[in-house]
Structure 1
Amino acid sequence: MVEDVAPQQTWEALTANPDAQLVDVRTDAEWTYVGLPDLETLDRQVLLIMWQAFPSGAPNPHFLQQLGAAGLAPDQDIYFICRSGARSLAAAEAARSIGFARVFNVADGFEGPPDAHGHRGGVAGWKASGLPWRQR
């Protein structure tokens, strides 16, 4: 079972462990227009590997190969993030299935659930937690 970790706890883990990695599994459109977690102060970059294609939503058939090609180690702490925590959970489970033992899901993702007006980004998630992020 993949553990959900709050965004603030994820940031603390990434800060404390220079070998930990954040993998953003959203789409290129989301990275470009919504923004990205910014790990510059930690002297690293978020690893960008789409779980599903945009705009079709079709699964990325190369996801596991791309994850392996990124140079991640099976015993490395890997945190997966998406918009709300659903795709990242599926991606973390897939990574675990091929031998990545220390995978975590960022609860509520980058934008979190929608608020009473149907808008994301203000209720929970990376952005709402006040963690560093940037536009691409």
Structure 2
Amino acid sequence: MSASAPSPDRDQPRPAQGYAGDVTPELAHRWWQSGEAVLVDIRTDAERDWVGFIPGAAALEWKHWPGMQVDADFGDKLRAIVPPGKKAVLLCRSGIRSIAAAKRATEVGIEAYNILEGFEGDPDEQGHRGGKGGWRMRGLPWRQT
């Protein structure tokens, strides 16, 4: 298989409980680029400012910094961003917060997917992120201010 061809296990959503499923960063990117899905970056504004952002992605905090309280209006705000009939692919730092956000999206009637690995991936042996998976490490579009 060539390096540019998606591998079968990374090219299909994985089943999940309480939301539509988990997808790889690459699959989320393809859905977003094809217009099948809206990419929603649920990280805090501070995370996007400090670590990097995805040009063209919708920015909607799931939790507000610094107290990390869930946005009680998240569902309504998400419905305003995701048109009827479109999927939502939700991105956080590591693919954990976006699970809870995908469950909330499902509760308000949106077909929602968690992006595995998130933006930065898992921490390495030294506790650093960015080298073990994630949107950024996979070479998908992002920028830093």
Please say whether Structure 1 and Structure 2 have the same fold, judged by a TM-score greater than 0.5: yes
Deviations 1:9-46 (A, max 9, x none): 1112222x2242100100010010000123xxxxxx11
Give 1:47-126 correspondences, 5 Å limit. Answer: 47-70=58-81, 72-100=82-110, 102-126=111-135
Distance across 2 between alignment mates of 1:61 and 1:26: 15
Query: CA offset at residue 57 of structure 1?
Result: 0.9
> Is the 8 Å Cα contact of residues 4 and 105 (structure 1) preserved in structure 2?
yes
Q: Which of 11, 25, 32 is residue 7 of structure 1 equivalent to?
A: 25
- Per the TM alignment, residue 69 of structure 1 is displaced from its structure 2 partner at its CA by 2.5
The TM-score with structure 2 as length reference comes to 0.82
Residue 128 (1) aligns with residue 137 (2)? yes
Report the 3-state secondary structure (helix = DSSP H, G, I; strand = E; otherwise coil) of the residue aligned with 1:14: helix
Paired residues in the alignment total 127
User: Which of 1 and 2 has higher RCO (CA within 8 Å, sep 6+)?
Assistant: 1
Letter in 2 for 1:10: A
Please tell me whether the aligned partners of residues 21 and 79 of structure 1 are also in contact (alpha carbons under 8 angstroms): yes
Provide the rounded CA distance (Å) in 2 between the counterparts of 1:57 and 1:66.
18
Deviation >2 Å, runs of 4+:
none
Deviations 1:53-98 (A, max 9, x none): 101111111211211222x224211100000111111111101011
Q: Runs of 5+ in structure 1 lacking a partner?
A: 39-44
Deviation at 1:133, TM superposition (A): 0.4
Q: Is the 8 A contact 1:109 1:126 kept in 2?
A: yes
Give distance in 2, aligned partners of 1:19 and 1:127.
21
TM-score under structure 1 length normalisation: 0.87
Aligned-pair identity (%): 40
Tell me how far apart the structure 1 counterparts of residues 67 and 97 of structure 2 sit (CA, whole Å). 15
Q: Secondary structure at the match of 2:47?
A: helix
List alignment gaps of at least 5 residues for structure 2: 1-16
- The residue that corresponds to 2:5 in the other structure is none
